[in-house]
Amino acid sequence: MIIIAFEGLDKSGKASQSELLYKALYERGIAVEKSEFHRYDTPTGQLIRKFLDGEYSPNQLAVECIMAADKYAQLDWFNEIQESVDVLILDRYLTSQIVYSKSNGIDTDFVLNLLERMPEPNFHFFLDINSQESMERKGEHGENDRYESNVSLLNSVRDNYLRLMKIEEEDGRAIILDGTLPIQELHQQILDKTLSLLEIKKVALL
């Protein structure tokens, strides 16, 4: 199973592109599943939503633990599907928590230790937009939340993302895309790369 993670600032197009990729792969008969972080319909996800909306204000260490718990809540499902699924698409995953926590002053080793038993993604699509673009786009949860409305935080997160994604791109594990491109143009780039990753996997198994 190939795990593909969509990463980027809030409202960079991750949900739209993950859905388009899911449909395109499904229509080609490829065994595909998708999920997201965070799942706001779960108990841990609801806590995170309350935190982002300003209704719940624990310290940042507690927030990172809750966010990690939200990921581990899906780990059994990951393990269950890995033999029957070719591609698992995730809207946000490990890198998101790493860069946001760093921008919130949390030591990276603390978060890496929290997440060490979650499977690593095989490839990242990073949809790059700047903080102003992020803040101006309309989100699915209404008004900008405490992360979405903090321009200095978003600038720091983007810098941290780019630093990590450039390293991953050099290693062939990511591609940095212009998140302001037309949706279908972005989708075609993403689909082409995903299909090539699947071909590489087939060759490796021969």
Q: What is the pLDDT of residues 134-183, one digit of tens each?
A: 988 865 655 788 888 898 999 999 999 999 999 999 999 999 999 999 99
What 3-state DSSP class applies to 128? strand
**141-173: string of b/e by CB count within 10 Å (b at 16+)?**
eeebbebbebeebbbbbbebbeebbeebeeeee
Beta bridge partners of 123: 4
* Distance separating the N- and C-terminal Cα atoms of the chain: 16
- What was the pLDDT predicted at 200? 74
Class assignment of domain 2-37+82-205?
A: alpha beta
Q: What is the pLDDT of residues 11-46, one digit of tens each?
A: 999 999 999 999 999 999 999 999 999 989 999 999
Q: Cα separation of 38 and 118, whole Å? A: 15
Q: What is the pLDDT of residues 79-116, one digit of tens each?
A: 999 999 999 999 999 999 999 999 999 999 999 999 99
Q: Cα separation of 194 and 200, whole Å? A: 10
Q: Cα separation of 75 and 58, whole Å? A: 25
Q: Residues near 54 by Cβ (< 8 Å), separated by ≥ 6?
A: 145, 146
Domain ranges of the chain: 2-37+82-205
- What was the pLDDT predicted at 137? 80
Q: Cα separation of 110 and 102, whole Å? A: 10
Per cent of the chain over pLDDT 70 is 94
- What was the pLDDT predicted at 202? 64
- What was the pLDDT predicted at 142? 53
